[in-house]
């Protein structure tokens, strides 16, 4: 399933994550149809955190509080390999997090697609060194104005 579809995880204990995940998937269906984006619903935020930090999931919508706790390994996320979480895009309450293993080019494409769709209304997260969740390298490249082609040339070297 993960190899055929770009899964965006949400969870049932906060249905607002599900609403935003649905909007993100709709946007990606229009902007990146070959990604075959789908929403995958987990039972709770802890399960989403476990999936992201073990590489079983690449993308998830989480509340900003949950995402920060996941990155720090606090609250219900104690014991997880939390340093692997990165931010792609966000709004005031939620953040689309990615595994650090999510390919840079894919992160750039997802970020670009979501930033160009006014129906989703997301922003680039904090890019400063003291950000609560580090930005994914692909999202950072997009924010810095790097082109998709420049990322591909970097990988070839």
Structural domains of the chain ordered from first start: 7-156 (3.40.190.10)
What is the per-residue pLDDT for 157?
40
Q: pLDDT tens per residue, the chain (157 residues)?
A: 456 899 999 999 999 999 999 999 999 999 999 999 999 999 999 999 999 999 999 999 999 999 999 999 999 999 988 788 999 999 999 999 999 999 999 999 999 999 998 778 899 998 888 899 999 999 999 999 999 888 876 554 4
d(Cα 48, Cα 110) in Å, to the nearest integer?
19
Beta-carbon contacts of residue 113 (< 8 Å; ≥ 6 apart): 27, 28, 31, 32
What is the per-residue pLDDT for 73?
94
DSSP of the chain = -TTTS-EEEEETTSHHHHHHHHHHHHHHHHH-GGG--EEEEESSHHHHHHHHHTTS-SEEEEEHHHHHHHHHT-GGGTTS-GGGEEEEEE-SSEEEEEETTS-HHHHHHHHHHHHT-TTT--B----STT-SSPBPHHHHHHHTT--HHHHHHHHH-
What pTM was computed for the model? 0.92
């Amino acid at each position: 399933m993960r190899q055929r579809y770009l899964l965006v995880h949400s969870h049932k204990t906060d249905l607002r994550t599900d609403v935003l995940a649905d909007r993100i998937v709709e946007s990606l269906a229009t902007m990146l149809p070959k990604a075959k984006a789908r929403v995958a619903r987990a039972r709770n935020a802890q399960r989403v955190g476990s999936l992201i930090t073990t590489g079983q999931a690449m993308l998830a919508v989480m509340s900003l509080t949950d995402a920060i706790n996941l990155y720090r390994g606090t609250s219900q996320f104690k014991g997880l390999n939390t340093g692997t979480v990165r931010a792609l895009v966000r709004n005031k309450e939620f953040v689309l997090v990615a595994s650090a293993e999510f390919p840079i080019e894919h992160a750039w494409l997802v970020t670009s697609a979501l930033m160009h769709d006014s129906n989703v209304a997301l922003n680039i997260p904090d890019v400063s060194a003291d950000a609560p969740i580090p930005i994914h390298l692909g999202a950072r490249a997009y924010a810095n104005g790097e082109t998709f082609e420049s990322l591909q040339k970097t990988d070839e070297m």
